[in-house]
Amino acid sequence: MKSVKEVNEIINNSLLSPGRRIYCSGNAATPQAFLRQMASDQSITDVELLSVLLLGDVGSVFDEDVCRRITHRVIFNSHHSRGAVNKGLAKYQLIHLSDIPRQVKEFLKPDVVLVSVSGPDNGGNYSLGTTVEGVMAAIHSAKAQNGLVIAERNDRMPFILGTTVPEEVIDYIVDVDYDLPVSPVKKPDELADRIANLIAHLYIEDGSTIQYGIGEVPEAVTRAIIDKGVKDLGIRTELFADAMRTLVEKGIVTNRYLNNPFSIASIFLSGNRGGYNWMDFNSSIQSRPSDKTNSILNIARHPKMIAINSAIGVDLHGNIWADSLDARKIYSGVGGQADFLRGAYLSEGGVPIIAMKSSTDNGLSKIQDKCPEGITTTAIAADPVIIVTEYGAFDPRGLSITEHAVGIAHLAAPEARENLLRHIYDSGQFHNPSQYLRNGIPKGFFPYENFVGMSLK
């Protein structure tokens, strides 16, 4: 390993020569100094850059003139890449998170890897920090081609246990000093609390294994779990955020019923600096590549796996979309939603859940008659996914397509619900829809009103 003092000594057209395919770690481990140098060095041309959710001060790497020199392959959008992807200036890769390592090794085959690391530890090993996902596969690919692994070492990067690389794997390293990206979450509102209380009341119990991400609803679910008083939870998740840290600190997460004493994740993201300090050499959490964390078979081995994910929309059949707004307007990425929904369903006592507010901030219903034409669905109608909004929970298991439609319509806000039900009853396309209401409640539907007044205990 060669240590250098300046970023431009290693991020230049000599090492990043035309034809190189570069894999770059993302999320809070985005090597920001490297990407800014790539954006500013106009001699770096005709290279490809693979990335998963680039965060931090790296927006310039997606400027239009930079996109003419660097071909981006974006596996998951951040706010930086969204514009370039949707203007046709960058490629969007449709890949499940569980499949990133395999596609990286077998098909994409990068020969340069840019990473952000912490360390070394007493054994001379470096942590890949807050993001692993496909990084190890990219390193193996690069080394198999006599390529390069180039690292930023940031003292502010926590040393996350579980996945490390020895010093000899890294070809060049430079010391940097900047804060890691954070993702503060606003306080959950009443609608998020309603959704969370339903989920905790109906599905989370002692010994459950949980997966969820970041945002209002996960924060509210954490609070509902605490209020319910459940114990001995386990964590297996693709993204570990502050909400889960709270459960660990309170002793609610023990991983007692898992085959390991620690919580497993592939990506770590905090709302503040304190969260990253907490992760540093913390033996209660470990990082793993996404083909391990998101393996459907591995997820299914955990008891009572409760996977809680969000979505942009759902139609009356039960098709769910989460990465795009229409067929050509990509918002985020496929990610690991399908991995966890299907793994949770195969788990003994497991439950796959989509949790979302019924309407957008602009008042548009997220419950629609049909999914937008050509859109990518992260769960199809045949996936037995429980859907929860502030109006109730709908369980499609064992139900027909008409029973799906009537139940899902009841997840919508009142005006949208009436419009959807009118269409169902009047269209003639559904089999006897009126027979699927019992005392005004559809099959498989649990109204929020029935929850009010019940104890979480």
Kindly report, residue by residue over 123-170, the tens digit of the pLDDT.
999 999 999 999 999 999 999 999 999 999 999 999 999 999 999 999
SS3 content of the chain, % helix, strand, coil (to 5): 30, 25, 45
Sign of CA pseudo-dihedral 22, 27, 31, 32: positive
In this structure, is residue 182 part of a structural domain?
no
Tell me the per-residue pLDDT of 413-446, one tens digit each, with 9 for 90 and over.
999 999 999 999 999 999 988 787 778 899 999 9
Question: Is residue 204 within 8 Å of 210, Cβ to Cβ?
Answer: yes
Model confidence at 31, in pLDDT bands (50, 70, 90)? very high
Q: How far apart are CA 308 and CA 354, in angstroms?
A: 6
Mark whether 221 and 305 lie in a shared domain. Answer: yes
Cβ distance 326 to 281 under 8 Å? Answer: no
User: Residue 183 domain-assigned?
Assistant: no
The pTM for the full model equals 0.95
Domain boundary among 131, 150, 176: 176
CA angle, 221 then 227 then 233, to 5°: 65
Buried b (16+ CB within 10 A) or exposed e, 101-124: bebbbeebbbbbbbbbbbbbeeee
How high is the pLDDT of residue 326?
A: 87
53 with 103, same domain: the answer is: yes
Q: Residue holding tokens 């395919």?
A: 21
Whether residue 155 sits in one domain with residue 88: yes
Could you tell me the CATH number of the domain that includes residue 218?
3.40.1080.20
Amino acid at 321: W
Residue 362 maps to a domain:
yes
**Distance between CA atoms of residues 220 and 215, nearest Å:** 9
Q: 118 and 13 in one domain? A: yes
Mark whether 142 and 207 lie in a shared domain: no
Identify the CATH number of the domain in which residue 58 sits.
3.40.1080.10
Is there a single domain that holds both residue 284 and residue 306? yes
Do 322 and 232 belong to one domain?
yes
Q: Report the candidate in 453, 345, 334, 354 with the shortest Cα–Cα distance to residue 408.
A: 354
Tokens coding 319: 């098709």
Residue 457 has pLDDT above 60, yes or no: no
Same domain, 443 and 314: yes
Among candidates 203, 255, 245, which has minimal Cα distance to 222?
A: 245
If you average pLDDT over residues 291-318, what whole number do you get? Answer: 97
In sign, the C-alpha dihedral spanning 77, 99, 111, 239 is: positive
Q: Note whether 111 and 66 are same-domain residues.
A: yes
Q: What order do you get walking across the sheet with 91-92 strand by strand? A: 2-4, 172-176, 148-154, 112-117, 21-24, 47-52, 70-76, 91-92
Which of 118, 147, 176 terminates a domain? The answer is 176
The yes-or-no verdict on residue 455 having pLDDT over 80 is no
Residues 112 and 232 in one domain: no
Q: Is the pLDDT of residue 399 over 70?
A: yes
Query: Could you list the residue range(s) of the whole structural domain that residue 91 is in?
Result: 2-176
Number of domains in the chain: 2
Q: Are residues 292 and 300 in contact, defined by beta-carbon separation less than 8 angstroms?
A: no
* pLDDT in the model for residue 41: 98
Domain membership flag for residue 8: yes
253 lies in some domain? yes
Residue 221 lies in a domain: yes
Q: Which of 176, 204, 234 is the last residue of a domain?
A: 176
> Which residue do the tokens 């559809």 mark?
442
Residues 169 and 194 in one domain: no
Residue 289, pLDDT above cutoff 90: yes
Q: Are 252 and 345 within one domain?
A: yes
Domain-embedded: residue 336 = yes
- Exposed e or buried b per residue across 325-354, where buried means at least 16 C-beta atoms within 10 angstroms of its C-beta: eeeeebebbbbbbbbbbbbbbebeebbbbb
Q: Is residue 184 part of a domain?
A: no
| Partner residues linked to 267 by β-bridges | 131, 239
